[in-house]
Structure 1
Amino acid sequence: MTIVRPTRINAGAPLLIPPDYAHSTLGLTASIEVASGGPGAGTAPLPELPPGALAAKRSVVLLIIDGLGLDYLRQASTDGPLANNLLCGLSSVCPATTSAAITSFFTGLAPASHGLLGWFTPFEARDQVVLPLLARVRNGPGLPPTDLATLYRSPPLAARLTRDCHVVTGRRIAGSAYSRFHAGPAQVHGYRSLSGLFGQLEQLVRANGPPRYVHAYWSELDHLAHEHGVAHRRTREHLRQIEAQLGRFLKAIAGTDTLLLVTADHGFIDTAPERSLLLNDHPDLAQRLRLPLAGESRLAFVHAKPEQREALGAELAEFLGDRATVLSGAQFIAACFLGPGEHHPALAQRVGDWVVAMADGWTLRDRLPGEKPFMPVGVHGGLSEAELNVPVAVFEA
C-alpha cells in the first residue's frame, strides 16, 4: 500500500495519521475468512489469530460490541473478563463509525472498496446524501430496490465461506435492507434483549450440524455513550452488565468447542456543547455547498458547488483554524485513510472536494429544514486513538 503524505491547507492544524491497516479489524476478518474456507480478500490474517487455530474449532463466534473502544475498556473495566482475556488492540477503519466498520466486518473490505463512508454517505446515483443503514435519503424517503442494488455493491463475506453462517442482531434491524443484503446466504436471527443475544448464541453453538461461523452484534453501549457520554455512570454500568452476561454464557457453552472473539467497530470520545459547530450559523460557508455535509460530525466530507471549490476550501481552513484539519478529497484518498484494496468506482465522488477532520473533541454538523436537532454527548468517527482503537478478546469453550 503506497501512502502519500497529505498537505494540510490550514497549516496550524493537527497532522493526521491514517489507521494502521496492517494491524486492523480487516486482518481479524481475514483470519476468520481464511479459517472458514474463504479465499481471502487481499488482507493478511492477523499474526495473533492464525487461521489454522480458528479452523480447528467447531464454532467461531465474532461478537461486535458497538462503541467499545480499547482505551475505554482499559479505563472502565480493568479487571473484567474482556480486559483479562485481551489478545491485542487493533485499529478500526476510517471513518471509525458503524456504517463503515460493520460493513467491513460483513464484507472483509475496507471503506475505500465498499464505499459506505459514514452515517451520511453521498450517493452518486441520486446526487443526494443517504443513510446506508436506514436505506433512505437524508431527511427524505426510503430508497427503492433499484437504488439499493447500486448502494450495496460489495459481496457479503458469508457468500465466500464454506462454514454454515449465521448473523445474530437486534430484532428491530434483523429484517432491514442493509442486514438482509450484507448477511448474504447467512441465516439471520433477531433478539430483543442482552440475555436474548446470548441465548441465541448458546442455541447456535449447541445445535447439531456442520462447523459454523456466527457474526453477532450488540448496539446498546453505543446508544448510551451517545446519549449520556462514554464516561457516564450508566454507560459503565452497562459494560458491567455485558460482562456479567458474557460470564454466564461462557459457563453455559462449556465443552462446545467454540472460539469467541469479542471486538468493536469503533471507540468514543465525549464532547461539549461549546465544541459543537453548526454550519447553519455560517451561511457564507453553507451557501457554497452543493450537497449537505456527509460522513460524520468528527470527519466530514464536503461537496462544493463547482465554481466555489477553491473558495470553500480556503474559507473552511480559515474558519476552523486549529479546530480541524482540512485536506482535499483527492489527498485524503491518496493517503489511504480509507484503507487498501480496489477503489469503489464512485469513491472520489463520495469523498467529495474537501475532508474536514475535527480535532480535540470538536464536531461540525449542518441541519436540513425539518431535521431534529441532534447533539450527542459521546461522538466518534474521527481519527483519535480513542475513536480508532478497539480490543480483541478471545475465549475458548
Structure 2
Amino acid sequence: MSLPDDLHRPAYGSATLADVLPSVSAALGVGRADRLGLADHLHGARRVAVLLVDGLGADLVRAHADLAPTLAGLAAPLGDLQAPCPSTTPVSLTTLGTGVPPGAHGVLGFTTDVPGADRPLTHTHWTDDPDPDTWQARPTVFAELAAADVPATVVGPYAYATSGLTRAAYRGARYASAVSPGDLAAGLVRSLAATDRALVYGYHAELDLTGHVRGVDSPSWRQQLAHVDLVVAQVLDGLPGDACLLVTADHGMLDVPAGTRLDVDSTPALSAGVRLLAGEPRARYVHALPGAADDVLAAWREVLGDRAWVVGRDEAVASGVFGPVADDLVARIGDVVALARGTWAVTATRQEPVPSVLAAYHGSLTATELAIPLLLGRGAAL
C-alpha cells in the first residue's frame, strides 16, 4: 500500500538526518561517504560543531525569522533535510548518531514493545534494561571518529549523561554535561577550543518541551525560540577561526486542536484484541493479542478512516518508511502501524494521561514534521 499524498517517505541516503554525521565525518577525513556533499561547504574546517535543537522544524524557523535573526542569517546550502520515521526524538537522535535509518539501528519509536518481555520500553526513560549496547548494536559515528583519533564530544543535559539513549546514540564520545542553555553554548565553544581537530555535538531540549506543553503558536514558544537564537549567536561568537557550526533538528511540530483528537480509551473498538499500545499520539504501534492482528487492523482502519495511514506491520516495512528493517528488529514494530494525517492525534487518556493533554505533537510523516533545517556558520578564517 502506497502512502497518502500528504505523507512522505524519508529520503534515506541522500537528504535525511541519518546523512549528517557521516558527511561531517567524511569532511574531517574519516569514515563513510559524504552523502550530502558537505566537504565543499565546510571549506576544509578541522573542527565542526553540530547543534541539534529539539523541535526546531524548518517550517517553524521560516515562519518566525523575525524572532531568530541569527538563525535566519545562516546559510542553508543544502535546503531542508528530513527527519526519520517516526519523526520523534529517540528515533532521530539514534539515527543521527549511527548514521543509519531506524530499521537498521532498532530504536523505532518513542515507546516500543520489548519482544518476548510483554512490556514497553520508553526510550526517554531508559537506563540499562534492555542493555543499550545490544538493543542498539550498530557502531556510532562518534566511535568511528574516536577510533581515528579525532576527538568526539557530546555536550548535553546533565540528567541524560548515563541514560540508555545516550549510550545507544552517542557511545564512543566523551559526554560533557550542561546545566543550562548558556552552559551548553559555553561547553560547545570550550570543547571546540580544546583540540585542533574535533567533532563537537550539542543537544538543546527546551524548545520541544515548550512546544509540547504550550503549543508552537504560543507566546511561550516564540520566547523560547528567541532564546535558542541567542544560544546560536553565542556559539558563533566563540567559534574558532577554522571551525564551522551546523544547526539542525530532530523533527518539526504542529499544534493539535481538541477537535482532531481520537481517544483510544473512549473508543472500545480500538482496544479490542490489543495487547499493548505503543508509539505516541501521531505514530501508533498497536500490538495485538495472539491471533487478533487481522481483526485489530480492520478495526483501526474502519474507525480512523482517512485520519491516519493504517497498515499492517509487513506493509509498513515494505513501504520503506523505516529504511530496510533488519529481521531481528521487525517485531519492535506494531502488528498495526497508524501514522496520523492532518492535525489528528490518537491519544490514550487513561493509559497516557500526561501525553494525551499536550498542545502540540510530532511523529508522523507530514511535510511539517519531517522538514528540518541544516544551517551553516563558519569561523572567520574559512
Fold shared per TM-score above 0.5: yes
**CA 1:350/1:177 → structure 2, altered by over 3 Å: closer, same or farther?**
closer
**Cα displacement (A) at 1:274:** 2.4
* CA distance 1:353–1:174, shift in 2 (3 Å): same
CA RMSD of aligned residues (A): 2.2
Which residue of structure 2 aligns with residue 215 of structure 1? 201
Equivalences for residues 112-261 of structure 1 within 5 A: 112-135=103-126, 143-144=128-129, 147-161=131-145, 162=148, 163-207=150-194, 209-253=195-239, 255-261=240-246
What corresponds to 1:139 in structure 2? none
Q: Deviations over 1:355-382 (max 9, x none)?
A: 1111111111335669656311110001
Give the partner amino acid of 2:226: R
CA contact (8 A) 1:68 1:265 kept: yes
- What residue in structure 2 maps to residue 31 of structure 1? 23
Classify 1:197/1:121 alpha carbon distance in 2 versus 1 (closer, same or farther; 3 Å): same
Q: Which moved more, 1:381-390 or 1:350-359?
A: 350-359
Determine if contact 2:281/2:356 at 8 Å carries over to the other structure: no
Deviations 1:165-210 (A, max 9, x none): 1000011112223213432221110111111111111111222x34
Instruction: List per-residue Cα deviations over 1:294-321 (Å, max 9, x = no partner).
Output: 2221111111123222111111111111
- In 2, the alpha carbon distance for the partners of 1:103 and 1:213 equals 17
Which of the numbers 315, 318, 323 marks the counterpart of 2:299? 315
Measure the CA separation in 2 of the matches of 1:168 and 1:109.
Answer: 22
Compute the displacement of 1:39 (Å). 2.8
- 242-251 or 188-197, which deviates more: 242-251
Find the residue that maps to 1:290 and give its secondary structure: strand
Report the secondary structure of 1:121's partner residue: strand
- Does the 8 Å contact 2:260/2:345 carry over to 1? yes
Match of 1:102 in 2: 93
CA–CA separation in structure 1 for the residues paired with 2:326 and 2:354 = 32
Q: Distance in 2 between matches of 1:230 and 1:371?
A: 21
Q: Does the alignment pair 1:378 with 2:366?
A: no
Distance, in Å, in 2 between the alignment partners of 1:14 and 1:102 is 27
- 2:74 corresponds to 1:85: yes
SS at the partner of 1:352?
Answer: coil
Larger displacement relative to structure 2 (75-84 or 355-364): 75-84
Deviates more, 1:318-327 or 1:387-396: 318-327
Provide the C-alpha distance between the structure 1 equivalents of 2:34 and 2:47, rounded to a whole number of angstroms: 22
State the shift of 1:325 in Å.
1.7
**Which runs of 5 or more structure 1 residues have no equivalent in the other structure?**
1-5, 136-141
CA 1:202–1:236: 2 relative to 1, 3 Å: same
- Residues 71 and 84 of structure 1: CA distance in aligned 2, closer, same or farther (over 3 Å): same
Cα deviations by residue, 1:77-119 (Å, 9 ceiling, x for unpaired): 2571212214121111111110101101111111010111121
Aligned position for 1:46 = 36
How far off is 1:125 after superposition?
A: 4.6
Deviations along 1:239-264, whole A, 9 cap, x unmatched? 112212322332233x4311100000
1:273 matched to which residue of 2?
258
Q: Secondary structure at the match of 1:263?
A: strand
Please say if residues 14 and 324 of structure 1, whose CA atoms lie closer than 8 Å, have aligned partners that are also in contact. Answer: no
Query: Which amino acid is the alignment partner of residue 63 of structure 1?
Result: L
8 Å Cα contact 2:27-2:34 kept in structure 1 = no
Q: Percent identity?
A: 29
Q: 1:16 to 1:384 in 2, by over 3 A?
A: closer
Corresponding residue for residue 353 of structure 1 = 335
374-383 vs 26-35, which deviates more? 26-35
Alpha-carbon spacing, 1:364–1:106, altered in 2? closer, same or farther (3 Å): same
> Residue 327 of structure 2: SS of its match in structure 1?
coil
Choose from 300, 311, 314 the match for 1:327: 311
Q: Paired residues, what number? A: 372
Tell me if 1:72 matches 2:60: yes
* 1:138 corresponding residue in structure 2: none
Deviations along 1:296-351, one digit per CA (max 9) or x if unpaired, are 211111111232221111111111112112112111111110125xx333332111
1:107 and 1:155 in contact (8 A); partners too: yes
Q: CA deviation at 1:391?
A: 0.6
Q: CA deviation at 1:143?
A: 4.9
Report the CA distance shift for 1:370/1:259 in structure 2 as closer, same or farther (over 3 A).
Answer: closer
SS in 2 for 1:321: helix
Answer yes or no: is 1:289 the counterpart of 2:274: yes
Structure-1 separation of matches of 2:348 and 2:57? 27
In the other structure, the counterpart of 2:346 is 364
Deviation, structure 1 residue 211? 0.5
User: Conserved in 2, the CA contact under 8 Å of 1:165 and 1:214?
Assistant: yes
